Amino acid sequence: MAKTDIGPPNYKDLMPPLMQKNYGKWKYHEILKPGLLKHVAESGDELYTVRAGSGRLLSTDHIREICEIADKYCGGYLRFTSRHNVEFLLTDKNRVDALIAELKSKNYPVGGTGHSITNIVHTQGWVHCHTPATDASGPVKAVMDELYDYFVTMKLPAHVRIALACCLNMCGAVHCSDIAILGIHRTVPKPDHSRVPNVCEIPTTIASCPTGAIRPDPKTKSVVINEEKCMYCGNCYTVCPALPLADAENDGISIWVGGKVSNARSAPMFSKLVIPYLPNNPPRWPETVAAVKNIVETYAKHGRKHERMGEWIDRVGWERFFRLTGIEFTDKHIDDFTLAPNTFRTTTQFKWG
Amino acid sequence: MAKPKTPLLDELEKGPWPSFVKDIKQAAEKKPMAQDLLGQLELSYKEKIGHWKHGGIVGVKGYGGGVIGRYSDRPDLFPGVEHFHTLRVNHPTGWFYTTKALRALCDVWDKHGSGLTNMHGSTGDIILLGTKTENLQPCFDDLSDAGFDLGGSGSALRTPSACVGPGRCEWACIDSLDICYNLTMELQDQIHRPMFPYKFKIKVSACANDCVAAIARADCSIIGTWRGKIQIDQKEVQAYAASGLNIREEVTDLCPTKCMSWDEKGKTLSIEDGDCTRCMHCINLMPKALRQGKEKGASILVGGKAPILQGALLSTLIVPFMKLEPPYKELKELIAKIQDWWDENGKSRERLGELINRMGMRTFLKAVGLKPIPQMVKAPRANPYVFFWPEEIKKEVK
């Protein structure tokens, strides 16, 4: 029998010798151009990193191709980033241009550094999830095709981090992104009364609802869902498979903006709702792509240098954000969950837009 | 086997960004499983709905997690994905690979699975996407022989992750890679055998830029910071100014505490370090000129999470500064105390942050033995509903 609890391979064995040698003794770095970083150690050693985008969903053949490139240029060493990019780690600066040329010839986008839009952190969607309100890989591909130029350049006021989650469970830091694309369900789960008594534990199912919308139905030995209380989170479906909530015509996408995870300048922030609903329109989600592009371009035009999306909005105010983007403000934007009054305006100070 | 017609997905092969459809088609050349995935995905695109049933309980011997069960709801049309379970494989800390290690992974997955992966999943794991129930154990056995192990799932410690840290970054205040690896190895049992009320995440970022989103996502967020003066190299500051960086507009004016000033005439930068909150902005802009203070350590924050169940929470500060050196005894003791309290008091599917909100921060702090200090809050309470401990109240003497 195989050994258990061995843990992951030791990262130190997988690190280029130059990184091992200068471990913890780095002096400074520079972004030489989009997708190319130069790190200089106290010893004077230089490490060059070439960053390339990927679709995250990779075939083993694709990974083997990446390995061939890393063997050719990097002595067989590479890493991935927390946002699904591939980083080729070179010690020979004379090989950098040839590597970038080869990557470009094989259609790898080189960029994602500095004030760019880097890769979109995303979830599984229809490829592998059981509660998705939209696909993940498809909208990501469509949005990145449109925003490609922002990946391979560094012309925005600051970093723009986009993330996509296909439902409210929000795998990944979607809720603290400059732009979050979030799949939403808008209709209540439909209990399959013939299956609920057999496949679900009723007390667990009732307890799983954050709003107390589920109650038992002694007649059917199933459950009843209060439509007014349900907020379509899908938590009950995760514990009770006989409560499906997917709805082809009503599921869709919402857009949230202004979040960040870094502590630089301002504290980390949540993303806020700006577009409550866009239809699922596969294969290329044109409404979603247009909405994201509009927000990026409005920010690019009005944001000041080094100002993240949320910092820009804090400076100009949400009333101006809605005017500049032309996005309609509705009752959906006004919070009605816990602590909602904290988001209401309690002053006479406001802008006209 | 006839190739499925996929007119909708074919549209996603167009455009400059790498296409996941091409990767699925590449795998489908060899694997009927990947071919049926393609067919089912096309059906989802046509019907605008997912076709995966709720996961059942599947796994490997000795473990209670690491495998996500998945079954198609149309096995009649797509028998290749009747079972399509995912293995979460604990990534090497910092996502470092040799091509030898990556190829070994690919060999295992070509032998036992769909040939499709995610590099990586949101928590950080290597995701091996889709295989049949009977392949799980042999796949795990071969993974183990290749030196890999599964990651966390369910109500377990999820695979901890860390930024690149001292491997490449001059801003690393702590050894994020070693801390993460050390905790991962020590807490193997918590990762593989779900024993908690719900998931527990540990993420380590070596500075306040927080490249692994620890504050947004982790129940226990470990963030590098420093004490003492930022070290200024005035010559390098002047070099930045000469190269076109507007020190006043881009650096000092954007300092959140206004603790810096730039003397345009004397070309001198000064910092009132007592007012600095170590946000990293100035250091981010002038890495050659500014270095963090010499005494390095970490701030510990707890309770971060995504919305399910009671809304998203950011981690909140409980320890402003902790020295972190191997074997990280103080950190491990604190994590153990936090987990014990949560395990004892948490309801099913209640995350640490939600439990702290339900029971009160004062109860949490007392349980884990931390003294309340002003650094823990943005402001003291503004409501008068103050609770006192029984021992703080004078008892009537009869």
Q: How confident is the model at residue A159 (pLDDT cuts 50, 70, 90)?
A: very high
Which residue type, as a one-letter code, is found at position B286?
M
A148 pLDDT exceeds 80? Answer: yes
A269 pLDDT exceeds 70? Answer: yes
B1 pLDDT exceeds 60? Answer: no
Closest in A6, A24, A235 to B175, CB measured = A24
How many H helices and E strands in chain A? 10, 12
The CA-based angle B296-B297-B298, given to 5 degrees, is 145
Distance separating alpha carbons of residues B41 and A128, to the nearest angstrom: 9
In chain A, residues 259-298 whose CB comes closer than 8 Å to chain B: 259, 261-266, 268, 270, 280, 282-284
Distance separating alpha carbons of residues B69 and B91, to the nearest angstrom: 20
A18 pLDDT exceeds 70? Answer: yes
Q: How confident is the model at residue A241 (pLDDT cuts 50, 70, 90)?
A: confident
Q: What is the mean pLDDT of residues B195-220?
A: 97
Contact B12 A283 (CB under 8 A): yes
Contact B189 A5 (CB under 8 A): yes
- Per CB-CB distance under 8 Å, the chain B contacts of A36 are none
Contact A7 B188 (CB under 8 A): yes
Q: What is the pLDDT of residue A238?
A: 81
A264 pLDDT exceeds 60? Answer: yes
Q: What is the pLDDT of residue A169?
A: 82
CB pairs under 8 A between A and B: 341
Which two structure tokens, joined as six digits, stand for B282?
Answer: 């100035």
Which two structure tokens, joined as six digits, stand for A70?
Answer: 């890393």
Chain A residue with minimal CA distance to B254? Answer: A265
Of B155, B295, B221, B111, which Cα lies nearest the Cα of A238? B155
Which two structure tokens, joined as six digits, stand for B313?
Answer: 């929470």
Which two structure tokens, joined as six digits, stand for A33?
Answer: 């151009």
Average pLDDT, chain A: 95
A299 pLDDT exceeds 90? Answer: yes
Distance separating alpha carbons of residues B280 and B254, to the nearest angstrom: 11
A99 pLDDT exceeds 60? Answer: yes
- Per CB-CB distance under 8 Å, the chain B contacts of A80 are 95, 97, 119-120
Which two structure tokens, joined as six digits, stand for B194?
Answer: 């779900």
- Cβ neighbours, 10 Å, residue A337: 12
Residue A87: which residues within 8 A CB-CB, separation 6 or more? Answer: A49, A50, A51, A52, A78, A79, A80, A81
B65 pLDDT exceeds 70? Answer: yes
The SS3 call for residue B226 is strand
C-alpha to C-alpha distances, A150 to A160, A293, B148, nearest whole angstrom: 9, 11, 36
Q: What is the pLDDT of residue A173?
A: 67
Q: How confident is the model at residue B308 (pLDDT cuts 50, 70, 90)?
A: confident
Distance separating alpha carbons of residues B227 and B174, to the nearest angstrom: 13
Q: What is the mean pLDDT of residues A110-124?
A: 97
Closest in B51, B100, B213 to A76, CB measured = B100
Give residue-wise pLDDT tens across range B107-128. 999 999 999 999 999 999 999 9
Distance separating alpha carbons of residues A149 and A144, to the nearest angstrom: 9
